[in-house]
Amino acid sequence: MSQSFATRLQSAAARNRELLSIIAQNDHAPSALPQNAAYITDLDAQLKKTDVELKKLHAITEDERKDHVEYRDSTFKRYAHKIGGKKGQEKFTSKQEKEEREFLEAWQKEREAIARREEIARALDIAQVDKQTLGQAALQYQNAQTELDQMYAQLFNGPTPEVPGEDQMEQTVQHLVQYLDQCQQRFNTEKSAGEALRGVEKLIAAANKNMREALSMSRMDMMGGGTFIDMMERDALSRAGVAISEAIVHMNAARQLQPAIQPLDNVNIDMGHAMSDMFFDNIFTDMAQHERIQGSAMQLQRADDQLKEQIRLQLVRAGGARDQLAQAKQDTENVREELQRIRAETFETYGQNMYQGQSADAPPPYVG
């Protein structure tokens, strides 16, 4: 080796350490950025699909509302059925109940779609912020890696038998970096799936809270609560339905990330029959509605139990991925440090030899 090579080794040592530090701090970004991009693409598609669905549901809701109001406020139809006696009045009430039920069902579907859209939009905003952060980290990583590769190519281009162990250690680092990238991708996926399940957990908890409120209102209604209690009961049921709808969005996201996650059983929130409950309010209709709410609450509890099991299993998967990633990082760092030690000793040895008057062409001593 020449004296100029030893000088270059000395001058490059500090920058070498700096570049390795930058790479270690940002080595998660290259694998996480494509996953983030795919997630954003999926959310964009979901948002567009939901917008189309929402437009259709809004049109249906408006049509049903128009039919309901027209029939409810039709004095002529009410009078015509009244002339028909008791059967005529029952027919009018039955038709009115049907119109209102169809309107309420359409309105509830539209409300759930709006909630889903808001949830998707929030997730998209977070993903866009992550994209910026990951993009900056990936750029820092790439710039540092490019500069490091260029520096090593200049200093250690081709086999370097004069530096015992350097070539073998460099190959080991390359293999470990590839394995580390795979471990990072797996951990990112398991972590994101777990976060999505936690989102489901919060929404199911909110739905349970609303169901308990609905049951409380229903018990009061059986004791003669009146119209106001009926309205509070229906509002609680509606909020429970919205929470469940939002939970489905998070559950689908979790299962897309980790197919091993099992779906939850369907939960049907029975809103009851508004017209019969209001115009024919008695203990029997109140008891029937209370039983329907209890049935919905049992379905929700079953889904909650299933969710807890899926969260437990996902924690196991995420824990395994985390341990694997930690070991891969440690192994990679150990080999990187060893490679750095070999190269640092090369820098130091040739620099010392030059100043001590030893031949710069002689290979440096290496003690493994």
Which whole number is the average pLDDT over 157-183? Answer: 82
Res. 255: pLDDT tops 70? yes
Q: Of the segments 276-280, 352-356, 357-361, which one has the largest average pLDDT value? A: 276-280
∠ CA 92-93-96, nearest 5°, is: 85
- Average pLDDT in the chain: 80
Query: What is the tens place of the pLDDT at every residue in 299-316?
Result: 999 999 999 999 999 999
pLDDT score recorded for residue 4: 65
The pLDDT value given to residue 199:
93
Q: What span, in angstroms and rounded, lies between the C-alpha atoms of 181 and 360?
A: 39
pLDDT band (50, 70, 90) for residue 333: confident
pLDDT at residue 351 in the model: 46
> ∠ at Cα 335 (331, 135), nearest 5°?
75
Write the pLDDT tens digit of every residue in 194-211. Answer: 999 999 999 999 998 989
Residue 261 is given by DSSP the state S
pLDDT value for 159: 67
Indicate the burial class of 45 (C-beta count within 10 angstroms; 0-12, 13-18, 19 or more).
exposed
pLDDT band at 367 (very low <50, low <70, confident <90, very high): very low
Say if CB 290 and CB 215 are below 8 A apart: yes
Average pLDDT over residues 285-310: 86
pLDDT at 341: 74
d(CA 78, CA 89): 8
CB 277 within 8 Å of CB 289: yes
Q: Report the pLDDT value the prediction gives residue 358, as an integer from 0 to 100.
A: 46
d(CA 364, CA 350): 7
Q: Provide mean pLDDT across the span 225-229.
A: 70
Give 120-153 pLDDT, tens digit per residue: 999 999 999 999 999 999 999 999 988 987 887 7
> pLDDT over 90 for what percent of the chain?
38
Q: pLDDT > 70: what percent of the chain?
A: 75
| Mean pLDDT on 348-357 | 52
Q: What pLDDT shows up at residue 365?
A: 43
Q: Under a CB-based contact definition with an 8 Å cutoff, are residues 119 and 249 in contact? A: yes
The pTM assigned to this predicted structure is 0.57
Query: How far is residue 368's CA from residue 365's CA, in Å, rounded to a whole number?
Result: 10
Categorize the per-residue pLDDT at 225 as very low, low, confident or very high, splitting at 50, 70 and 90.
low
Residue 275 has pLDDT above 60, yes or no: no
Q: How far apart are CA 132 and CA 112, in angstroms?
A: 31
Residues 6 or more apart whose Cβ sits within 8 Å of residue 282: none
Sequence ranges of the domains in the chain? 3-355
pLDDT at 175: 92
Name the more confident of 123 and 356.
123
Query: What is the longest distance spanned by two Cα atoms in the chain?
Result: 123
Cα separation of 229 and 314, whole Å? 41
User: E-strand spans in the chain?
Assistant: none
d(Cα 214, Cα 238) in Å, to the nearest integer? Answer: 10
pLDDT band at 368 (very low <50, low <70, confident <90, very high): very low
pLDDT digits (tens, 9 = 90+) for 15-72: 877 888 898 899 889 989 999 999 999 999 999 999 999 888 888 888 777 765 665 5
Residue type for position 310:
Q
- Classify 156 as helix, strand or coil: helix
Please say if the pLDDT value at position 357 is more than 50.
Answer: no
- pLDDT at position 261 over 90: yes
Residue 79: HSE in the Cβ half-sphere, 13 Å Cα cutoff:
3
Is the pLDDT at 293 greater than 90, yes or no? no
Helical packing angle, 166-222 and 283-355, nearest 10°: 160
